[in-house]
A and B are shown apart, each in its own frame.
Chain A
Amino acid sequence: MSEITITINGKLCKGQQGDTIFKIAQDNGIYIPNLCYHPSVARYGACGLCLVQDEKSPKLIRSCSTIAADGQVLHTENDRIIQARKIALELLMSDHEGDCVGPCRLACPAETACQEYVKQVALGNTREAVRIVKERLPLPASIGHVCPHPCESECRRRLVEQPISIAMIKRFMAMDQLDKADRWKPEIAPATGKKVGIIGGGPAGLTAAYYLALKGHEVTVHDAMPKMGGMLRYGIPEYRLPKAVLDAEIAEIAETGVKLVNDFKIGRDISFEEYRKQYDAVVVAIGAWKSSPMRCPGENLEGVYGGIDFLRSVALGDPVAIGKRTAIVGGGNTAMDACRTAVRLGAEEVYVIYRRTRSEMPAAADEIDEAIEEGVVFKFLTNPDSIIGEDGKVKAVKLQVMELGEPDASGRRSPVPVEGKFEYLEVDSVIAAIGQRVDVAGFDVGASSLELNRRGIIAADELSFHTSLPGVFAVGDATNKGADIAIAAIGEAGRAADVIDSYLAGAEKPYRKPYVSKRVVTEEDFKDREKQPRVPVVNRPAAERRCDFKPVNSGYTAEEAMKEALRCLECGCHDYRECRLISTANEIEIHPERLAGAKHEKFTETRLVAIERDQGKCITCNLCVRVCDEVVGKGILGLVGRGFETVIKPEFNDPAVVAACKDCLKCAEACPTGALKILTAK
């Protein structure tokens, strides 16, 4: 064998006479994508992803199967190659019903791998479950307690009976690991020498800090409050999230080397300008800490509080004079936290004033139910007209009676006042939980500095999180759309950490939503499933819990969590992390929807006893057929039909032939997608 030298992308590469271009590239560390190549079978050249260009040839050539010639000059990444590769991937995806990840993960704003950690809980492995959830969420115990779980709303198990209790499972597994000495700890990359300053120690700031620290950056979090945690600490009452749980998780974040500095306020302790100079990158994660005003007469009376202001005071241990009768205005989760806190503070009559009806309330259903159990009275279809005072103090609320009109932009029917119809509610205090605003005091804002949007919120690019200032990023409630749930802020912070890491490395790479293949399913698909209602969580009696700030319930036991986790339908593809199709598809931006057309019928079959074959995921690369023939020497599989209709079938449709399969599983191992699944019950 004689040695040859070829040039790939300007790099001289050595190989042996008779080697393919693909092999020489691989041996020289040059990546060329491929799906149908396999070292143990003959060259084939079906997928068309390994196309490269020889400077001397007008045609693109398949590197997987072209023998390299000495002196060849090749390119693997020019526009023409990328375009052919892109179309190949779009074509493949246009006929691929992969269901890469479950709808739970797609619904999670932080893209947490719900299905995977639920599975680990089902297997009794909470340590691994926590490792998986922490790929995206460094505060699983806290979030497990408080998350309104959009994942559960999309859970396909709801098409059978009820969704999986994903949040409860997360709470269980994270709590289970919280004080374990051998709990999973992340690996921290070698120090990069780059410094990142994070302003705001709430869920967004802490998350950004954690992931940036893991990447080896020197991170400091500064927060204006006495302790870290932001809204998780000062906006969420103790009965929902015990401070001890939050403290433990913050301590774990600190273990990664993140420096935490409290009672530090921009504009007071340092100018923003000065702060920026100290860091290579700055993350503004200051949250939305101002209560929105009601804009009705009397709102400045003594005894009128903002919802988050009220919750913060309680958390700080400051006495709040709410009296015996209090009215909370609003229908969101803050309103529920406020009314239930008021109950616990000893108010005898607690009202919630909401201008629509229960079905339009944004608060979580459980929260509403539990508030009602705890004696809160809901005044639906009413809105404060004015607050009536006496001696400068709240005496009553005049309520405008409302009715529902046409749907508004949010799709909910909008409340319309019933002319001349009012009610009066005698109260000692009013808590306005109708929204939050960003407080940018202390920051130099404006067109030439930190730009705000029309609503007075910090404007940041949706994909790079970069603000108008170079090196300044913003995430969480303080940016763009404003206040949202904690997991949304965590999601943004995690994505921003990746972008900032690339920025610090010298080339900012904005976030790109990963492409995933999706499948549409209906109740019909699950009609044969055995019904298995979710494992209930028993709350403490309302009479007891309204008197203290202890948790409403103690969550799942290990047995309960495991039983609940076993209900998971495992919608997402088992092969998502190993799938070569999806990883290749995400190397470039693809839009298969523009090539949408006929698809193969999706179905699964288990004719080869130990292997389940999913037609929706098959890309007809023929590797299984070739491996069965060339490696195993059986030839049990074959191609049937022509053109688009070509499918892989057990060769002769004959049970005796299929029975000759000795379950060597080599075909499934070679499959580049999740089309062939090894059944564990072999």
Chain B
Amino acid sequence: MRVIVGEGSCGLAAGAGKVYEALQTKLEGIESASLGITGCVGMCWLEPIVDLYNGKMLAKRLVHVAPEDADDIAAAVQSGDLSLVDRITIRKEDEDFLRKQTRIALRHCGVIDPADINDYMADDGYQALEKVLGTMTPEEVIEEIKVSGLAGRGGAGFPTWFKWKAARNAAGGPKYLICNADEGDPGAFMDRAVIESDPHSLIEGMMIAAYAIGAAEAIVYVRAEYPLAIVRLENAIKQAREAGKLGKNILGSDFSCDMRIKAGAGAFVCGEETALIESLEGNRGMPRLKPPFPANSGYWHKPSNINNVETFANVAWIILNGGDKFAAMGTEDSKGTKVFALTGKIKRGGLVEIPMGKTLREVIFDIGGGIRDDKEFKAVQMGGPSGGCIPASLLDTPIDYKKLSATGAIMGSGGMVVMDENTCMVGMAKFFLDFTAKESCGKCVHCRIGTKRMQEILTRITEGEGREGDIELLEELCAAVKDGALCGLGQTAPNPVLTTLRYFRDEYEAHINEKKCPAGSCAALLTYSIDPSKCVGCTMCARKCPAGAIAGTVRNPHSIDPEKCIRCGQCLAACRFGAVSVG
């Protein structure tokens, strides 16, 4: 029996490394057992996960595994009596999470060993590249991608074939193929999972693209904050080169293309393709003006094509299964599947891949299991700092580039941050503006100062210092920044503000006019009080209060001085009689 430990970043963060070590000790000497690793299967809330395989058959999936469970696992493996580990077996309803998905980009994630090219090869790996180099012209490849309807998965949703064709037709050379793995949206981790769990599918997709456009070199620009992804990709590149899957005369053809990694230094704006190119060239990461587009003048001002990780991860599947099969999934405007990183106040947070056209409700409730602690769903933020929030009333919106844009949000790279009734929407907008204001490259005025001013206004609103006219001022700034900012980062930075204003204007008004936070989340707007009929005078709250704001004598009701209160919530947590309330 094969014992496979899920070692994506999420698994390792949950303790998969220690589980692996414990299993290594306990399984030693059991002849029928072999120990291995895989990447992230996407059920991050269940990590560490250990899968027990009979050959290729998954016999049992164990979740929340601790190193102490190694004895039981060893016993089960040795005896073949898997009921010994029933206690840590995945629950039926959690299995729905995967069962309701359609996996193409994530087809190998959590299944194969990302460190072993043979595992990839055993699962149709590099067959698409072989087919392309052996039987297809570059034009045919581009045509197949066109048939598939594959669009850029990094956020913009631009038709992939069109970019490839533009780069192929561009005059001059050498041509470059670049993978944008500078995944920076808060709450997004699809690309990390793909590289960590299935690096060869990225390499294969890139080699096919390189062939299609005629690129001599392929570069993966991956953020340095993804060390495990870099290690696994480096290893995969080495294996692929040794196996002749990249480098000189790939698979014996006359097509040559080598590949290297460039680690980004952590600037969000480098996810913008022209800023990424500047950074690749060794300059400060600041966007260039478009046009000219990179297809004509990109890296070193040579024709360049840039796609995102997930886009490339679909390519081999499309070649092997046919563009029409990919296009059969999805909607009129959006073909195929899309991966989402489901996070926030969701019961089952992780990676979800579904065909386009499913509704937000299906993803959040059917797959994600709904809201944690059974609270009310309030909104889902899509597209990170460039996107917007979608309220409960629009939960039946199908996932489709056009339909999501109509809500004011965007498909984006696939971050889906779920918020419940206790999330303050002004605070949420502020969070994203804090982010964009800090991550602005500082080049253009609208973004450099405009996002800063928006962030300042949002801050004062959440601190109870909002002024009459602030909403209108925000709207004015939003419109001007959208119009005036140089690149996508600035042009989309107002979206979180615009969508929260569109759907939750009353929350802004309550903050400004009544100095109240309806979600009870903005500390400066909270009032803590003690109900004298419930207070028994135990003095616990007064002893916990760091500001000396609570007065009262033993066995007599206490009271809070609102002037001294710093709204830390210690009293609320300390009270065992439910006498402290916050409003």
Contact = CB atoms under 8 A, between A and B. Distances in A.
B267 A43 contact: no
A83 B480 contact: yes
Interface string A74-109: 000000100110111001101100000000000000
B438 A643 contact: yes
A594 B476 CA distance: 12
B262 interface: no
A639 B446 contact: no
Contact of B441 (A44, A47, A86, A642): A642
Given A80-B483, A643-B452, 18 more contacts: A45-B486, A48-B444, A59-B483, A66-B289, A83-B476, A84-B484, A87-B477, A88-B480, A91-B450, A91-B453, A92-B445, A94-B449, A620-B442, A641-B442, A642-B441, A643-B438, A643-B448, A644-B451
A67 interface: yes
5 contacts: A65-B289, A88-B445, A88-B446, A644-B442, A646-B441
Contacts of B450: 87, 91
Contacts of A66: 289, 291
B443 interface: yes
B467 to A, nearest CB: 10
Contacts of B476: 83, 87
Contact of B444 (A47, A80, A638, A639): A47
Given A598-B452, A638-B284, A643-B438, A46 B444 contact: yes
Contacts of A83: 476, 479-480, 483
Of the candidates B444, B476, B479, the one having the most CB atoms from chain A within 10 angstroms of its own CB is B444
Contacts of A87: 446, 450, 476-477, 480-481, 484
A67 B479 CA distance: 25
Contact of B440 (A45, A48, A67, A643): A643
Contacts of A47: 444-445
B473 interface: yes
Interface in B446-499: 446, 448-453, 456, 473, 476-477, 479-481, 483-486
Q: Which 3 interchain pairs have the tightest Cβ spacing?
A: A646-B442, A87-B480, A91-B449
Interface residues of A, number: 38
Nearest to B268: A642
B187 to A, nearest CB: 20
Contacts of B479: 83
A598 B456 contact: yes
A597 interface: yes
Interface of B: 267, 284, 286, 289, 291, 437-446, 448-453, 456, 473, 476-477, 479-481, 483-486
B483 A639 contact: no
Secondary structure type dominating chain B contacts: helix
A62 B289 contact: yes
A646 B445 contact: no
Contact of A88 (B441, B442, B452, B484): B484
Interface in A580-621: 594-595, 597-598, 619-620
Contacts of B446: 48, 84, 87-88, 91
B26 to A, nearest CB: 49
Contacts of B451: 643-644
A622 interface: yes
Nearest to A83: B480
A51 interface: yes
B477 A45 contact: no
A597 B453 CA distance: 7
A274 B456 CA distance: 61
Contact of A594 (B291, B441, B473): B473
B486 A62 contact: yes
Contacts of A92: 445, 449
Nearest to A45: B289
Contacts of B449: 91-92, 94-95, 644
Contacts of A80: 483
Of the candidates B291, B441, B449, B476, the one having the most CB atoms from chain A within 10 angstroms of its own CB is B449
A4 to B, nearest CB: 16
Nearest to B487: A45
Given A59-B483, A67-B291, A46 B284 contact: no
A60 interface: yes
Interface string A632-656: 0000001101111110000000000
B468 to A, nearest CB: 12
Nearest to B436: A643
Contacts of A594: 473
A48 B446 CA distance: 7
Contacts of B267: 642
A273 to B, nearest CB: 48
B276 to A, nearest CB: 16
Contact of A643 (B284, B437, B473, B477): B437
Nearest to A642: B442
Contacts of B289: 43-45, 62, 65-66
Nearest to B481: A87
B67 to A, nearest CB: 42
A45 B444 contact: yes
B445 A639 contact: no
Given A87-B446, A595-B453, A644 B291 contact: no
Contacts of A44: 289, 443
A81 B41 CA distance: 50
A17 to B, nearest CB: 14
Of the candidates A86, A87, A594, A641, the one having the most CB atoms from chain B within 10 angstroms of its own CB is A87
B225 to A, nearest CB: 16
Interface string A32-71: 0000000000011111100100000001101001110000
Nearest to B444: A46
B486 A48 contact: yes
